[in-house]
Amino acid sequence: MKQRKIINNTKRSFVVIGIITFLFAILFFRLGFLMIVRKNFLVAKAESQSSYQQTIMPKRGSILDTNGQQLAVSGDVYKLSLDLLEVHNYADTKSRKTGDKPQEIVKDIADKFADILGKDKKEVEDFMEKENDQGVYPRGLPLARKIEKNQIDKIKELRDKNSYNFVIIENDTNRYYPNNNFLAQVLGGVDLDGKGLFGLEQYYNKDLTGVPGVSISQVDRKSRDLPYSNQIYTQPVNGKDLTTTINSRIQYACEEIASKTMQSTKAESVRIIVTNPRNGEILAMVNKPDYDPNNPSKGVKDSKQFSEVTRNGVVSDAFEPGSTFKLVTMSAALQEGKVNNDYHFFDPGYALVNGQRINCWKLEGHGAENLVDLLKNSCNPGFIDLGKKVGKEKMNEYISNFGFGKLSGIDFPGETPGIVKSTDQISPVDLATISFGQTDAASMVQLIGAINTVFNDGVYTTPHFMKNLSEVDADGNRKIVSTYEEKNSRQVLSKNIANEVAGFLQDTVSTGSGKLAYVEGYGIGGKTGTAQKPKKDGKGYDDKKFIASFIGGAPYNDPKVSLLITIDSPEGEHMGGEVAAPVAHDLFQEIFKIMNIQPTVK
C-alpha cells in the first residue's frame, strides 16, 4: 500500500514537472520569438509610442515679375489637429473629478475652439464625435488649416491653461496672390497642401516646393515633451523663387485694355500676349474673363466651369488663325524663290480651285496687285496663288519650321500642338485654304513665335516665362541657381528674306488693312485677321461667329516688342482691321511709354 502511494506521488511529480517544463518551453519560445523575430517591429512600436514626429513644411518659393515684384507669395500659417481619443479620455477623467457629464465637457471644449476659429459650434461639436471605420476615435484628425498666428496664439493659451494634451499644432503654408485677378491664368493655383495644380505653380512645382524638415521628440504617455530629452530636428529647405519675364506695368496695361475691349465688343473672350521678339521672353499674357486665384471657386458651379475659367487659352486653345497666317505663306514663297518684287497678280474677287470657287473677302476683287499689295490688301486669291507655287510638301515644311503642328516647348502646362493636316491628305482645295489661314489650327503662342521669327532675322525663339530661379542663403543673400536656356532656336528664313517680309508688314500697317493700328514714327509692322469659327457640330463654319485678331511688332527694322490680340465673337463689327487693330494701336502706345521706346521712323 505504501509502495503504491510512493509510485502515485512520483507520477504526480513527473506530471507537474512536465507541465512546468512545457510552460517554460512555451515562455522561452515566446520570448525568443519576440526578441528575435519581432524585435524590429516592437522597437519601432515602442519608439512611436514614446516619440512624436512632426513634419515641418518648407516655405514655398515666390513667383516674381522681371523686376522682382511679388506675384505669388507664401505666408506662415498653422494647422490644428486633435487627438479625439484623448479628448474623450480627458472628458472622462475630468468628469470623475467634477461630476459633470463627459458629453458636456466635450461640448464645452468644442465651443471654445469654435469661438477662436470662427467656426460653427455645431460643426465642431459633430467633429468631436467622429469615429473611424473601426468605431474608434481617430488620433490626429485635422480640425482647421491655414490658421493665422493671432488665432493659434489663443489656441496655445487655451491649451496650456486647461492642460489640453490632445491639441496638435503644426506648421502650414498658405499661398497669396497680392494682385488678385492680375495674371490669374498664368500664375495658376495650388491645393490645400501647397502643391501646384495648374499654371506656373504646376509647371515649376518641384522647384517652388522645397524639402520638408522633421522634428522628433520624446514624449510621455500624454504626448507631452519630456524635459531634458534629445530632440532630432532637420531644418526644412525652402523652395526656390521663380523670377519671370513678366513686366507688371505692361501686364497691367494689357489687363486694362482687355477689360475695356470685353465691355465695348461684348466678346466671349479677349486674349493678349506680348513678347520680346529677339529672345521670346513673354512680357505679358492676358485672358479675359478671368478669376481671383485667392478664391478660384467663387461663383463656379461645377468642375467643368472651374476648368474653363482657370484654363490659359493663349497656350491651350487652337483656332484657325485666318489672315494673320499669311505672313508664313509669303515668307515661304520668297524663301523658295517662287516670287520676287516683280511678281504681279490680278484679283477678280475669287479663285477657282478644282472647279470650286473660293471668294476673296472683297467680292468685287482687288484687281491688279504686286507682291506687297497681296499682304496689304489681305487678298485670298493672291495667297492661293502663292500657296500653289510653293506646293503642299514645301508648305508643310515651312509650317513645321515656323512651329505649327507641334509643341513649342513653352514652360507652361497644357499646351496644344494645334492641328496641321498631313501632307498626303492635303487636296488642292486644302492647300488653297491653308495658304490664307483656314483648315489648319494654331495657338496664340505658335502665332507669336512665327512673327517673332520674321522680326528676329529669320531665327525662331521659344516663347517662355522663366528668367531665372534663385534662393536666399542663411545670410540673406540671394543667389541665382539657374537661368532660362533656349533649346529650340533654329534658322527658318534667311536674314534678307525675314527683313523683307518685316518691311511688307510695316507697309500693311502704314497704308494697308492694318492702318488702324498705325502709330506715327514707330514703324509698326503687322497683320490683321478675321477667322470664321467652325460650327460646334464640326460641319462647316458659323456665319455669325468670328475671331478678330491683330499680330505685329515694332519697330519693324529693330523690333523691341511684338504682340497678338484675339477677340472671340464680338457683337456687331467683326473684321480684324476694324475691331482688333484699334486695340493694338492703344496697346502699342502704352507699351512705347512704358518701355521708353522713341520714334525712329520718319
* Cα dihedral 350→353→354→358 (10° resolution): -50
The predicted model gives 358-379 an average pLDDT of 93
Given a cut of 60, whether residue 47 has pLDDT beyond it is no
* pLDDT tier, 475 (very low <50, low <70, confident <90, very high otherwise): confident
Average pLDDT over residues 109-136: 92
Rounded average pLDDT over 193-203: 93
> What pLDDT, on a 0 to 100 scale, did the predictor assign at position 265?
96
Determine the pLDDT at residue 23: 75
Tell me the pLDDT band of 22, cut-offs 50, 70 and 90. Answer: confident
Tens of pLDDT, residues 500-552? 999 999 999 999 999 999 999 999 999 999 988 888 776 778 888 999 999 99
Cα of 430 vs its chain's centroid, Å: 35
**478-483 and 196-198 strand pairing:** unpaired
Which pLDDT score is estimated for 226? Answer: 42
Mean pLDDT of all residues in 188-216: 89
Residue 35: burial class (beta carbons within 10 Å; 0-12, 13-18, 19+): exposed
Which of the four pLDDT bands, split at 50, 70 and 90, describes residue 1?
low
Q: Please tell me the distance from the alpha carbon of residue 599 to that of residue 592, in angstroms, as a whole number.
A: 9
Q: What average pLDDT does the segment 208-231 reach?
A: 60
On average, the pLDDT of the chain sits at 89
d(CA 305, CA 211) in angstroms, rounded, equals: 34
**HEC readout, 449-503:** HHHHHHHCCCEECCCECEEEEEEECCCCCEEEEEECCCCCCEECCCHHHHHHHHH
Let me know: does 268 contact 574? Beta carbons within 8 Å.
no
Would the pLDDT of 562 be above 70? yes
**pLDDT at residue 76 in the model:** 83
Per-residue pLDDT, 544: 85
Cβ–Cβ < 8 Å for 562, 452:
yes
> 309 vs 430, which has greater pLDDT?
430
What stretches of 388-465 adopt beta strand conformation (E)? Answer: 459-460
For residues 343-369, average pLDDT: 93
**How far is 551 from 564, CA to CA, in rounded Å?**
4
Evaluate if residue 231 carries a pLDDT over 60.
no
Cα–Cα distance measured from residue 18 to residue 408, given in angstroms and rounded to the nearest whole number: 84
> With b meaning 16 or more CB within 10 Å and e meaning fewer, what string describes 84-121?
bebbbbbbeebbeeeeeebeebbbebbebbbebbeeee
Give pLDDT, residue 242. 97
Cα(599)–Cα(333) distance, integer angstroms: 32
| Percent of the chain whose predicted confidence (pLDDT) is above 90 | 70
Q: What is the pLDDT of residues 415-464, one digit of tens each?
A: 999 999 999 999 999 999 999 999 999 999 999 999 999 999 999 999 99
What average pLDDT does the segment 263-274 reach? Answer: 97
Question: 3-state SS of the chain: helix, strand, coil percent to 5?
Answer: 40, 25, 35
More confident of the two residues 222 and 381: 381
Residue 602: predicted pLDDT: 65
Please identify which residue in the block is written with the cell numbers 513678366. Answer: 246
For the chain, how far is it from start to end, CA to CA, in angstroms? 142
Please, where are the H alpha helices in 99-148? Answer: 102-117, 121-128
pLDDT at 283: 98
Give percent of the chain above pLDDT 70. 89
Amino acid at 329: T
pLDDT for position 2: 53
pLDDT for position 220: 52
Name which of 582, 580, 561, 581 is nearest 274 in CA terms.
561
Average pLDDT over residues 86-97: 91
Q: How far is it, in rounded angstroms, from Cα 80 to Cα 166?
A: 11
Q: What is the per-residue pLDDT across 396-420, written as a single tens digit (0 to 9) for each? A: 999 999 999 999 999 999 999 999 9
Asked if the model's pLDDT at residue 307 lies above 90, the reply is no
Residue 247, classified by CB atoms within 10 Å of its CB into exposed (0-12), middle (13-18) or buried (19+), is buried
162 Cβ neighbours under 8 A, 6+ residues apart: none
State the CB neighbour count (10 A cutoff) for residue 373. 21
Return the residue matching grid coordinates 510621455.
Answer: 220
Question: Does 304 have pLDDT greater than 70?
Answer: yes
Element (H, E) at 521: none
What's the confidence (pLDDT) of residue 501? 97
Cell of 214: 522633421
pLDDT at 184 over 90: yes
Q: What is the pLDDT at residue 264? A: 96
- Cα distances (Å, whole numbers) of residue 207 to 149, 210, 239, 397: 27, 7, 6, 37
Task: pLDDT band for 227, please (50, 70, 90 cuts).
Answer: very low
Given its phi and psi angles, is residue 248 left (phi above 0), alpha (psi -120 to 50 degrees) or beta?
alpha
Query: Mean of the pLDDT values across residues 135-144?
Result: 88
Run of H or E including 390: helix 380-390
Spatial separation of the C-alpha atoms in residues 155 and 170, rounded to whole Å: 12
Q: 325 pLDDT exceeds 70?
A: yes
Q: What is the mean pLDDT of residues 43-67?
A: 71
